[in-house]
């Protein structure tokens, strides 16, 4: 029997891109776990349309991407048993289901690893997507010793065995995803990458990433890791 594949999609004030992603993912065999991260009543209709594709977690106050992901992981630990594969996807249309299927294939071949869907950004990529990405990559490699290209990607696939670790990683906003990478380095968990399609819709205008504030949150988490890696560094 094949492992169930679960697509976790945190969403804050989503548009029609969430509907397209949810429909296609459902048709491709994914069970959807969608988190309404305090979007408010104006977005209730969007979420009602995707509720039938799996499970909807909803709460009234915006907690941040990291908070939303951990709510999903807590739900999985409470409601799912056995082995399954998790993939996290962004709700703004930047990820394709085709890439999600391929990344899950890779993750199921390497069940002890975290598999990243990495974007190799062109020079004409939107500023908010390029802002800090090179610096984050450099800082992460300098501190951890791991050569990860896209440390900010939201498309990540992994086996159910890593869910308890993911649930307990600190951070409620975009710094959470960097904290995950650093925690897995500390635990000697392999971090592997597969190139995915780079997509920007309306110059990535729907992204809720705040280039200055959120980048500094990420920098702070990387710098906190200085001196804690020791034997985990790999040249």
Domain ranges for the chain, please list them. Answer: 4-232
Among 180, 175, 207, 176, which Cα is nearest to 191's? 180
What pTM value is reported for the model? 0.85
Render each residue's pLDDT in the chain as its tens digit; 235 residues. Answer: 578 999 999 999 999 999 999 999 999 999 999 999 999 999 999 999 998 899 999 999 999 999 999 999 999 999 999 999 999 999 998 899 999 999 999 999 999 999 999 988 666 665 555 556 777 888 888 888 899 999 989 999 999 999 999 999 999 988 899 899 999 999 999 999 999 998 865 544 445 555 555 555 555 655 665 556 555 554 4
State the Rg of the chain over Cα. Answer: 17
**Which tokens go with 22?**
């949810």
- On whether the CB atoms of residues 28 and 101 are closer than 8 A, the answer is yes
How far is the C-alpha of 151 from the C-alpha of 12, rounded, in Å? 21
Task: Provide the pLDDT for residue 235.
Answer: 44
Task: Provide the pLDDT for residue 205.
Answer: 47
Among 83, 87, 105, which Cα is nearest to 31's? 87
**Which tokens go with 170?**
């600190």
- Count the Cβ atoms, other than its own, within 10 Å of residue 74: 16
Task: Provide the pLDDT for residue 133.
Answer: 74
How far is the C-alpha of 69 from the C-alpha of 159, rounded, in Å? 15
Task: Provide the pLDDT for residue 55.
Answer: 97
What letter does residue 172 receive in the DSSP assignment? S
Task: Provide the pLDDT for residue 145.
Answer: 87
Q: Which helix (H) or strand (E) is 179 found in, with range?
A: helix 175-186
The residue count of the chain comes to: 235
How far is the C-alpha of 29 from the C-alpha of 97, rounded, in Å? 10
| Edge-first strand listing for the sheet containing 4-11 | 54-59, 31-37, 4-11, 84-88, 156-159, 114-118, 191-195
How far is the C-alpha of 11 from the C-alpha of 86, rounded, in Å? 17
Domain 4-232 class? alpha beta
């Amino acid at each position: 029997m094949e492992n169930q594949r679960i697509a976790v999609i945190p969403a804050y004030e989503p548009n029609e891109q969430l509907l397209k992603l949810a429909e296609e993912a459902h048709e491709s065999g994914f069970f959807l776990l969608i988190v309404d991260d305090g979007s408010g009543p104006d977005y209730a209709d969007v979420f009602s349309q995707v509720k039938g594709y799996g499970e909807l977690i909803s709460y009234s106050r915006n907690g941040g991407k990291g908070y939303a992901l951990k709510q999903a992981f807590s739900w999985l630990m409470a409601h799912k048993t056995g082995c399954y594969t998790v993939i996290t996807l962004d709700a703004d249309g930047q990820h394709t289901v085709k890439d999600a299927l391929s990344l899950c294939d890779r993750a199921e071949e390497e069940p002890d690893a975290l598999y990243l869907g990495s974007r190799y950004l062109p020079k004409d990529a939107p500023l908010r997507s390029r802002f800090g990405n090179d610096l984050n990559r450099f800082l992460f490699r300098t501190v951890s010793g791991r050569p990860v290209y896209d440390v900010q990607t939201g498309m990540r696939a992994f086996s159910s065995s890593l869910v308890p670790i993911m649930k307990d990683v600190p951070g409620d906003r975009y710094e959470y995803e960097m904290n995950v990478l650093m925690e897995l380095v500390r635990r000697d968990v392999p971090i592997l990458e597969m190139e995915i399609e780079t997509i920007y819709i309306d110059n990535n205008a729907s992204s809720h990433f705040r280039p200055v504030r959120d980048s500094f949150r990420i920098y702070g988490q990387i710098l906190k890791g200085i001196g804690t890696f020791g034997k985990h560094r790999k040249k």
